[in-house]
Structure 1
Amino acid sequence: MRIQDIIKGKKEWRAHMARVKALPKDYQIVYKEIQKYLFKVGPIELANGIGLFSGIVDLFEEGVALGKGVLEVTGRDVAAFCDDLIKDSKTYADTYQESVDQEVNKAMKKVTNKIK
């Protein structure tokens, strides 16, 4: 990654976070929880930019403009809202599960070959 890309990424993130800080407090709280959740279980492509987070802020800004409370936008189950956002994305959990399956399969082949 080039220095210019890093600088551009930081500028984009700062601008994004300025949008978040402009939201009402309840929206900011829910956004931060969504952000934590997605960083823990979220899709691999989160590492490639702020696209998903920017979309969430767009949705939140629209909710504010319509006079809705944040839970009217996300629903009461915010984790389910997050899961729905990433349902078609490959997550770190998926990658880890695949890795575990591969290791178990390798180990089982070794055991099976020793028994023969």
Structure 2
Amino acid sequence: MSDTEKSGIIAKMIGPKKRWRAYKARVAELPENYRAAVEAIERHLMHFVPTDGDANASMFEDLADLFEQAAVNGTPIREVVGQDPTEFVKEFAENYSDGGYVPARARRQLTDSIERATGEQAGTEG
């Protein structure tokens, strides 16, 4: 294997990892309720939306962009995800993959997580 081939393989392995760490650092900087919503969406996407490494990196970077802007502008989480978070995630993911099967339990878990992030279970959005 030539040095060029080795270099290409290493770049393919390290590139997505670097992007993932950068994405996670951005999410960590979000206000708590926005971070909770992003993490709920992230879990859902990781389990049920098949994509490749580059598509995953772009998808999560765009998710961070969306919620960073929402936080800066004071846009409520519900205004970002709507009343049906599973529909939001489905539409969001369609930009990056052919979708995937999402069981009812997972859809309920995502909806519950967004409700907690928006404070709807407690009565106020944080």
**Fold shared, TM-score > 0.5 on shorter chain:** yes
Is the contact between residue 90 and residue 99 of structure 2 (CA under 8 Å) also seen in structure 1? no
1:47 pairs with 2:47: no
Calculate the aligned-residue CA RMSD, in Å.
1.9
Cross-structure match for 1:62: 69
Cross-structure match for 1:85: 92
The structure with the largest helix share of the pair is 1
Greater Rg over alpha carbons, structure: 1
Query: How do 1:30-45 residues align onto structure 2 when only pairs under 5 Å count?
Result: 30-42=37-49, 44-45=50-51
Offset of residue 51 of structure 1: 0.6
Query: C-alpha separation between the residues in 1 aligned to 2:26 and 2:63?
Result: 11
Q: Normalised by the size of structure 2, how large is the TM-score?
A: 0.63
For the residue of structure 2 that corresponds to 1:50, the secondary structure is helix
CA distance 1:47–1:7, change in 2 (3 Å): closer
Cross-structure match for 1:100: none
Aligned residues: 92
Offset of residue 92 of structure 1: 4.2
Offset of residue 91 of structure 1: 3.0
Q: Normalised by the size of structure 1, how large is the TM-score?
A: 0.68
Which structure 2 residue ranges, 5 or more long, are not aligned? 1-7, 102-126
Q: Percent identity?
A: 29
Which structure 1 residue ranges, 5 or more long, are not aligned? 94-116
